[in-house]
Amino acid sequence: MLPIALGAAAAVIVVAVIAAAALPSITAYFDEQNARQAALDAAPATTVSLVAVGDNLPDEFIGYYADALAGEPDDGQYDYSPMYGPIASYIRDADLAYVDEEVHLGGNDIGPQGYPSFNVTDSMADALAATGFDFVATASNHCYDWGPDALAHSVSVLEKQPFAFTGTANSQEQRDRIVTQERSGITFALLNYTYGVNAYAPGDFPSYAVNFIDDAQIAADVQRAHEAADVVLVSMHWGTELLEEADEEQLRVAQLLADLDVDVVLGSHPHVIGPMAWVASSRNPDHRTLVAYSLGNFLADHDAPLAENAVEGMLTCDFVRAEAGGAVTVENVKWVPLVCHSTEDRWDFAVYTVEDYPTDLAKQNRALTEIPDPKAWLLEHSKAVVGAEWF
């Protein structure tokens, strides 16, 4: 029996030796895992900044000024970039920048045109790219003003630019694409819809040409956008002109978009600013959508401007991912008041933040001549309409 007992003892010793030998590798494994988790916990959150502005609505007078900026008058050359100069640093400093291009680029043969049938020359695309825009929305009530050839030309010009655009298309395949931009590992999708187009009905042209507000189509597009991106932005050309509050249809569609878990809604069309609000989803208790009902004008001109037409806005916010693979939240939301400057002779156009707007220029602004302190009024009016909590 003694040999058997000795064998058992030896086996125990062998097992103990093996276990002891294995301990360092097991310990190292758990140490490595703990160190990796600690590094993740200590890593700063991923943050992507956004700036968004409203209706880019150049008319023939802005076109004449762009012609003068490019060289000799009537030489067929146009330079819109200097008009964005005072605002350009804000656009370029953001990780992602958005604008609503309300006027189609229908060709230099048509030339600069204003109300009621707008057109801007091809060099506008270069100006938007040079200013730093990354996302451009093109579905609006003016996107078909000069008919199918002008819209097709506009799309072909925009296709050559580095920014992503959506809202108008030359084919069904192009219409169905989900345009995206990636920043710091976060993917953003942009969708764009308009309430209608002037002087035409949807049946007057191919269904792919212009994105109209349609609940079922929006729901299908948003679902595909969620599959393609971490963040879904929706540009809505909607609302009632000159109304500085959300109308019933805007409220209805905003709730639809919130229920679809859209992250941010960027509104345009009224040519005045509107309120901004969080809209809670009625389906997902953990979700709410940031809705800017109207960002107002951007570079724009009106035949008989109201002071309210000159009041514009720039939405700024951060998209934050606290940990790798985690959810993205919308934080640090701010409204920056803007103003489009022009003089009584409809010249010297430029877009400024109200803070940067020189006082002497403010007193020359053709839309603000009846206001004793234009800069103070621009800020106060912005807070009253948008909501003071966003400043």
Percent with pLDDT over 70 in the chain:
89
Place 220 in a pLDDT band, splitting at 50, 70 and 90: very high
Q: What is the phi/psi pair of residue 82, to 5°? A: -60, -25
**Greater pLDDT, 27 or 41:** 27
Torsion over CA: 110, 113, 119, 125 (sign): positive
Q: At residue 20, does pLDDT exceed 60?
A: no
User: Tokens standing for 173?
Assistant: 């395949």
pLDDT tens digits, 164-176: 999 999 999 999 9
pLDDT at 9: 40
Q: 191-204 burial string, b = 16+ CB within 10 Å, else e?
A: bbbbbbbeebeeee
Closest residue by Cα to residue 127 from 105, 96, 142:
105
Place 11 in a pLDDT band, splitting at 50, 70 and 90: very low
Percent with pLDDT over 90 in the chain:
86
Distance CA 190, CA 187 (A): 10
User: Tokens standing for 49?
Assistant: 């900044």
With the CA atoms of 23, 26, 30 and 32 taken in that order, what torsion angle do they form, in degrees rounded to the nearest 10?
110
Bond preceding residue 374 cis, omega within 30 of 0: no
Q: At residue 26, does pLDDT exceed 80?
A: no
pLDDT tens digits, 344-368: 999 999 999 999 999 999 999 999 9
pLDDT at 202: 87
Q: At residue 155, does pLDDT exceed 80?
A: yes
Predicted TM-score (pTM) of this structure: 0.89
Count CB neighbours of 187 within 10 A.
16
pLDDT at 37: 56
pLDDT tens digits, 332-342: 999 999 999 99
Mean pLDDT value across residues 87-92: 98
| CA distances to 169, 197, 329 from 149, in Å | 12, 15, 41
Q: Is 5 exposed, middle or buried (0-12, 13-18, 19+ CB in 10 A)?
A: exposed
pLDDT at 31: 65
Q: At residue 244, does pLDDT exceed 50?
A: yes
Helix (H/G/I), strand (E/B), else coil: 219: helix
Q: 220-241 burial string, b = 16+ CB within 10 Å, else e?
A: ebbeebbeebbbbbbbbbbbbe
Averaged pLDDT score across all residues of the chain: 92
Mean pLDDT value across residues 82-99: 98
Distance CA 380, CA 382 (A): 5
Place 44 in a pLDDT band, splitting at 50, 70 and 90: confident
With the CA atoms of 357, 123, 131 and 83 taken in that order, what torsion angle do they form, in degrees rounded to the nearest 10?
-10
Mean pLDDT value across residues 183-192: 98
Show the 3-state SS of 337-391.
EEEEECCCCCCCCEEEECCCCCHHHHCCCCCCCCCCCHHHHHHHHHHHHHCHHHC
Alpha-helix runs per DSSP H in 291-335: 307-310
pLDDT tens digits, 116-153: 999 999 999 999 999 999 999 999 999 999 999 999 99
Name the strand (E) or helix (H) holding 222: helix 215-228
Distance CA 84, CA 15 (A): 77
Mean pLDDT value across residues 236-258: 98
Place 236 in a pLDDT band, splitting at 50, 70 and 90: very high
Q: Which residues contact 343 (CB under 8 A, 6 or more apart)?
A: 364, 365, 366
For the chain, list the strands marked E by DSSP.
46-57, 96-101, 135-137, 164-166, 179-183, 186-194, 231-237, 264-268, 276-280, 288-292, 297-300, 311-321, 328-341, 350-353
Asked if 143 and 210 count as a contact pair (C-beta separation under 8 A), the reply is yes
Distance CA 238, CA 25 (A): 63
Mean pLDDT value across residues 213-227: 98
